[in-house]
Amino acid sequence: MTSQERRPNQSWENFSEADAGPFAEPVVIPITGELDLHTFSPREVAPLLEDYLLACQEQGLTQVKIIHGKGSGQLKARVRSLLAKNPLVQDIADADRTAGGWGATVVTLRARR
């Protein structure tokens, strides 16, 4: 088990392989162009977001919706910071009101080279 695999709502500070329980296998996230981060902590977002955006680009998707929720804004800030540094990202915007508004970020990916 790697540090990327843990059960939902378990803090990283107290994580060990013995805590894996029935969640010993990695979670497979379908590449649909929409990623819901509600069950992830801000610490988990960086590798997940990077891998997900790359997989979307490899599948030819040009737009991805990242759902971070409204909450305190901590997760949105983390997502936006990561997206601003990601070379795959061409543009970042809030989703329109009917698609989540400021609780979701729409990412336009650069064309694949």
3-state helix, strand, coil in the chain (%, to 5): 35, 20, 45
Q: What's the Cα-to-Cα distance from 57 to each of 27, 40, 94, 101, rounded to whole Å?
A: 20, 22, 20, 24
Q: What is the mean pLDDT of the chain?
A: 81
Per CATH, the number for 31-109 is 3.30.1370.110
Domain ranges (residues) in the chain? 1-29, 31-109
What pLDDT is recorded for position 73?
87
Q: 3-state class of 22 per DSSP?
A: helix
Q: Tokens representing 108?
A: 């336009």
52-101 pLDDT, tens digit per residue, is 999 999 999 999 999 999 988 888 999 999 999 999 999 999 999 988 88
Q: Tokens representing 71?
A: 């909450």
pTM of the model: 0.74
